[in-house]
Amino acid sequence: MTIKVAVAGASGYAGGEILRLILGHPSYLSGDLEIGALTAGSSAGTPVADLMPHLPQLADRIIEDTTVEVLSGHDVVFLALPHGHSAAIGKALEDTVVIDCAADFRLQEAEEWEHYYGSAHQGTWPYGIPEMPGHREQLQGARRIAVPGCFPTGATLAALPAVAGGLIVPDLAIVSITGVSGAGKKASVGLLGSEVMGNLKAYNTAGRHRHTPEVIQNLSEVTDEEVTVSFTPVLAPLPRGILTTITAPLKEGVTQDAAYETYRAFYAEETFVHLLPAGQQPQTQNVLGSNMCHVQVEVDERAGVLLLTSAIDNLTKGTGGAAVQCMNLALGIDEAAGLPQAAVAP
């Protein structure tokens, strides 16, 4: 039976990345997976060739309106829509695997959702970081999946072994430097080239960023200690990529060798997390276009902290790649199918 896939929000960066990966998916190439409806809002009626010329296989397709009627009848629907738009559509698609790339179903606590998003909490779906303990099992065969935020992906994968292994007091100071595509494709003065080029800017600081509770929620799953997070995102003149650095108080007796071994053992079986050799730092250029997260761990003895660093491509491992990885698990396909480990270089 051919699997039929639709992408809502197909003309945005996340939707385009999902399509790029599916076009190289072995199931698509074998004819076992078919790309169905491609939908959007304001760009409905526009040829894909005009919006996404980097996808020539779909050049003759036309973007349709995002409606339940158009999306019904597909086996899988990816929702690459703005926050707050997924809930009604996702709940209406009863006989479909729905993979939501927005935040609508990520948070478990209604109070946290309402504080950060200012609307009613719609519920919680299985959370799409397979590398988190127990989550791969939740995603296998799931009919509803919440794809994680890009910042929480980089921060969670950087910090998870340290928190789970008791290497640190879980009081984390996180700084993530991100490319502009993380803000989406919408027009914005703050994202104009003349505003971004040659400039660095922190934003949504001092606990205001909506991804803060998501990171706390993720790390709280692996410890009984209270997790606190101070998160500072920084906008950089890059199209893609997130570099995350985390510092946290080191627990007594933790050595560099012990910390590195904890990370090596934690990620030994993970295809898409690569612990770099000692002395080598993650760089965004080394994950460009890949579904990889590169990680490093270092003990700063004089400061008494553990330094954790990660690099991801925010559109691949941070969004579109995570969505396809989750689709593979939901459908019982090889988890790594269609997902590159090799980056584009230079």
Residue 285 to residue 275: CA distance in whole angstroms: 16
| Sole residue written with tokens 């399509």 | 19
Instruction: Name the 3-class secondary structure at 234.
Output: strand
Catalytic one of 101, 150, 293, 326: 150
Which helix (H) or strand (E) segment holds residue 331: the answer is helix 321-331
Q: Is 301 exposed, middle or buried (0-12, 13-18, 19+ CB in 10 A)?
A: exposed
Instruction: Name the 3-class secondary structure at 139.
Output: helix
Of the candidates 221, 215, 273, 217, the residue with the CA atom closest to the CA atom of residue 246: 215
Residues 6+ apart with CB under 8 A from 16: 10, 52, 54, 55, 320
* 150 is known as an active-site residue: yes
Q: DSSP letters along 213-226, please?
A: HHHHHHHHTT-SSP
Instruction: Name the 3-class secondary structure at 317.
Output: helix
Catalytic amino acids?
150
